[in-house]
Structure 1
């Protein structure tokens, strides 16, 4: 069994795999909860990816005789990075790209990851990560309007809001939700000018708000980052 551990700025997520198949996953975990979970079911192989705790902190807390791979700028990957600053490339971006390439090999892909920020990354049919775009995420846009103005409220998202808002709240919902949708459609269209056969792969916590509004074909893979982390893990294990 493989275990992959993914940490963002707030919570951890743990995925359990048998070979390449995702068996189960748990999210919104604390560092301490992750340690307790892994001690209950010790894996054969493990990959750790975190922006909060170093791999040395993780190894010390876990204190188990298990080989732990750490995802960093130096980690060997099943895809190639064509990126000017590979040391600054976010782990989630490269993991999602590796996951998409594993699920849809030999295809031009754009991976849209809808989290704190929205990233649009191109992976070509030769498994080369070509870079992409980074844009403010949904909650960031709502928070920005509230934080940087004196009178605008903090508004919650709504699926398919009316395009012409008849109140300030409705207008803000439309501005964010329909604005993101228009942004996504425009970026996808520009990518498709370069590659008409382009496949669009959607992931991230906010993807559910938009996946049914985008023009098909769109492939939603909610746990794409975990799948990509496991693909990177199995690739490194195969090189031992």
Structure 2
């Protein structure tokens, strides 16, 4: 049994796996790490291994829970050739997502869009070459930036806009943020399609479910794709040493 942990910029997600079956999945705040993990281990006493992907401030030393720990690093074996010009700067989360896309969708071009604090776009071709992608502000960052860098615009929570044309300041903000992200994503997808006509689009991250129905393009939406990719990558590394 495996505990997969994704340490993001704002919170920690986890899933408990029995091979490829998810037994439990949820999230918790970073300051609740120790009691949360101890509770998970108590509830699933069959857990033998913990695999961690961290883009946050928590390092390996934070996960001393008496289980076999695999802390994913750039030195691990991945099922793709990394063509990134600066491979040491490529986020571990992006590498795990790329690995999951390769393992789950073999022989295809894949575009993985992770809609979280930041929105990342990662492209792996049908020859299993990771070519790179893009990084943009996520929905929450856009709301926060409008509040922080203007004199009078309020800080709003993510809300579906009522119409393209916002008839109030609040509605204008919602339209600008949400419709802006949707148009950006559809625009990126269209440009990728011009270069690679046949590819699968995987949408994941905290805002995946919110955005999925708003995109014009056909996608595979899975908010926990990174955790499943962690599980698959762990199994791949065990098998391929």
Structure 1 SS opposite 2:212: coil
| Equivalent in the alignment of 1:168 | 169
- Structure 1 position 123, deviation (Å): 1.1
- Map Cα deviations across residues 193-227 of structure 1 (whole Å, 9 max, x no partner): 11111211100111122101112421101111001
1:189 matched to 2:190? The reply is yes
Distance 1:158 1:53 in 2: 31
Q: 1:151–1:160: structure 2 CA closer, same or farther, 3 Å change rule? A: closer
Equivalent residues in 2 for 1:30-179, closer than 5 Å: 30-40=32-42, 41-50=45-54, 51-59=56-64, 62=65, 64=66, 66-179=67-180
How many pairs were matched up? Answer: 236
Contact 1:46 1:233 in 2 (8 A): no
- Structure 1 position 152, deviation (Å): 0.9
Distance 1:231 1:85 in 2: 25
- Structure 1 position 160, deviation (Å): 4.5
Distance 2:100 2:108 in 1: 13
Q: 1:161–1:94: structure 2 CA closer, same or farther, 3 Å change rule? A: farther
Contact 2:41 2:47 in 1 (8 A): no
Structure 2 SS opposite 1:139: helix
- Structure 1 position 38, deviation (Å): 4.7
Structure 2 gap ranges (5+): none
| Equivalent in the alignment of 1:222 | 223
Q: 1:181–1:9: structure 2 CA closer, same or farther, 3 Å change rule? A: closer
| Equivalent in the alignment of 1:5 | 5
Structure 1 gap ranges (5+): none
Q: TM-score, normalised by structure 1?
A: 0.91
| Equivalent in the alignment of 1:20 | 20
Distance 1:22 1:150 in 2: 46
Q: TM-score, normalised by structure 2?
A: 0.91
